[in-house]
Structures are given as structure tokens and as C-alpha cells.
Amino acid sequence: MVRVTVANRHSFIGGKCDDFKEQTDPLVAQPVGDNKHAEPRLAMTAALSASGPHPSLGDEARVFDRLVGTWDCDYTFYAEDGSATHASGELRFGWIIDGRALQDIWIRYPRKGADERSIGTSVRFFDNKLKMWRVVFVGPEHGVLITVQGGVEGNRIVLRGVDDHGSSLRWSFNDIQPNSFIWRGEASRDVGKTWRLEEEHHMRRRGGAQAFIGASATIAAGKSRSAIAFEQLTSLVGEWKGVKDGAKMKLVYTLTADGSALMEEFRPEKGPVMITMFTVNEDRLIATHYCSAGNQPQMTTEAITEPNTKRLAFSLVRVTGLTTPEDWHNTGLVVLREDKDHLTQEWTYQFKGETGKTVFHFVRER
């Protein structure tokens, strides 16, 4: 999508991009395909995910299997003076590597006035020699790499380790219920004699327990996860309005092709209309964008594992209509349904070897 960019300090939609200047939105590293415009990372992530635990884990699989899914998060961070900072986000748990390990992704939504989210990830596996779960957490944004290990202690899951400053760490999953739990992060500077609470995050399963059970029942009845995710996406049907850099714009969603495709029309106040078509393909969703630049990027999600997710991420598979690989084209799209009346889109792009991202916020029109 040729979205609102900056050209000679004026808002610009569509047309030629020869006058393109670096836009004010933060540039991001966005992998793009080879000359055939394939997205190699897509195949890797598809091979990485697993539908469930490996049989060799036995009863140990139950420790974290109950957390698989998507959780809405109320994050709280405590400073040394006791003051608290709150943030919202989501946590995603899933099996990987043929079910021999789990990966979780911790996402904190952008702060007010910012476009970038904060994100980190953990990989956890059961070490048969140590008879413990071992976990590696990576937070590239802040240069964080932490390892902890542990397992079930009473009705909690407790993991222990040491941070970069030599402080002892104690991470725990508490009050675990089918649709909620509390995660706590504590630190000790006196080798465990006293502990200070640094983080406490309240998690609630997205959609609640009934929605989770309902989705599982629907899948068992024969409807695929991707079909359920598409049904959730069709809740966007209607008109939405937004403003970017002073330019007004409208989105119109229409269900078409006997209910098999969701059509999005992007209608800027000044500029050409562009179309994006959302469809189902086996275990994924596809977004095909018909851009005013004259090309048509086709983007796809990873295999849908959590059908009730509010966030769908599409990555470039191929693009048609390019004259040269240097032409302006989109490389990805994130659709975030914040609630029934608020929608956020993140479009990534490539032009002459440079990559970038533009974020749009829309409100449903009544």
C-alpha cells in the first residue's frame, strides 16, 4: 500500500515515488525476498511450530501445556522507590520443534505517541538430565539475555537464575486457572535472603475460558482454525475513519464472493482508492493488496494456532506487477482489532533497498 509518506515535506499518496524522502516513521529491519520476492522466513516459522507436545515429555508436558494460547496482559513494573508503571499487551504460548520445546512471545503495546511495540521471547524445554525446565529469554530491544531453570513447586511454577548484574532472579507463575494466572518477577541482591518484587503481570486468556472452549469445540466439529480466524476478521465489516499526518482517510470492509472473501477499500480524502482482499488458504489467511503503485503484494499469516487472536500478522510471499525489484512495494501487514470500535494497521514496505513502517489508527463510524 502506498500509504501516507513524506516527499519533500508534503503528504503524498500514490503516484510515482521518485521524490521519495526518508519518512518520519521509524525504519525497521524487514526481511524481503530474493528476486522472486519469496519470504524465506515464512517456511522456517511454519516448520518451527508444532500442534502439541512430543510424547517423550510424558506428564512434564502438562506443566506449560495449560498455558498454550493467547493471553491479554496487564503489566506492572515496580521501581526501587516502589512506584509502579502500567502497560497493556499480550502473551502468546505455543509448542515448537516437533513438540520438544515451547516458545512464548511477550508483547507490550506501543506507549502513547509511539509506533513501536516492545517484544521479547522465551524458549523453554525440559532437560531430562537435570530433571528441570530450562528457559532462555531474549529481549533484543534492551540487549537482554537471561537463563533460568526450575519447575513445579506446590501449585506454582518457579524458575530461578541470575541477571546481568549478578542479582538472583525468581520468576513464578501463580494462581494458575484455566483462563487466568499471575506472573511475578523478583530479584535479590543478598543471595536470596530478601526479595524485591520488580514485575507483576496479570494474564487473562483471550476471549475467556468459554470462548477458548467454544473455539476448541468448533475445531473438533470440523471447522479449521483459519476459518474461525477469518470469521473473527469479518467483524470489521462496515466503515472506519482515521487521520494520518493531517490527511483524512476511510476504510470500508465488505464481505463478498458468497462470504469467502473480505474486501477492504482504502479511501484517502485525496488520492486513489486501493483494495486489499482477505481470504483463507488451508491453515493460513492471505492478504492480497492491489496498490496504486501498480503492484500486487500477496502476504500470508503463519499457520493459525489461536483462532480468537485479535492480532494477525501477514508477511510477504510474492509480489506481481513490479518493473524492477527496487520498485516501491509493501512487505507486510499487521491488523490489530483492539476492540469492536478501534483498529490499528501496521504496513511495512521496501523502496530502493530501504525499509520502513507506517502505522494507522482507525475508529468505527456509527
Q: Residues 6 or more apart from 239 whose CB is under 8 A from it?
A: 250, 251, 252, 253, 364, 365
Q: In this structure, which long-range contacts are made by residues 296-304, counting pairs with CB atoms below 8 Å and at least 24 apart in sequence?
A: 296/320, 296/321, 297/329, 297/330, 297/331, 299/330, 299/331, 299/332, 299/333, 300/42, 301/229, 302/42, 302/45, 302/46, 302/49, 303/46, 303/49, 303/226, 304/224, 304/225, 304/226, 304/228, 304/229
Residue carrying the nine cell digits 483498529: 343
The confidence score (pLDDT) of residue 222 equals 53
Q: Residues 6 or more apart from 303 whose CB is under 8 A from it?
A: 46, 49, 226, 283, 284
The confidence score (pLDDT) of residue 350 equals 93
CA distances from 276 to 90, 150, 162, 243 (A): 26, 47, 48, 19
Structural contact between residues 55 and 67, judged by C-beta atoms closer than 8 angstroms: no
| 32-41: burial string, b at 16+ Cβ within 10 Å, e else | bbeeebebee
The confidence score (pLDDT) of residue 40 equals 66
User: Does domain 5-30+223-364 match CATH 2.40.128.20?
Assistant: yes
Tell me the three state secondary structure of residue 72. Answer: strand
The confidence score (pLDDT) of residue 33 equals 38
- CATH code for the structural domain at 61-206: 2.40.128.20
Tell me the three state secondary structure of residue 319. Answer: strand
Q: Give the predicted TM-score (pTM) of the model.
A: 0.50
The confidence score (pLDDT) of residue 219 equals 44
Percent of the chain predicted with pLDDT > 90: 60
Residues of the chain with pLDDT under 70: 1-42, 207-223
- How many C-alpha atoms does 280 have within 13 Å on its Cβ side? 19
Q: Are strands 196-205 and 180-188 parallel, antiparallel or unpaired?
A: antiparallel
What does the alpha-carbon distance between residue 278 and residue 288 come to, in Å, rounded to a whole number?
A: 7
Structural contact between residues 39 and 31, judged by C-beta atoms closer than 8 angstroms: yes
What is the CB neighbour count within 10 angstroms for residue 176?
A: 15
Domain with CATH 2.40.128.20 in the chain: 5-30+223-364, 61-206
Integer distance in angstroms from the first to the last C-alpha of the chain?
Answer: 26
**Cα-based angle 69, 104, 159 (whole degrees, multiple of 5):** 115
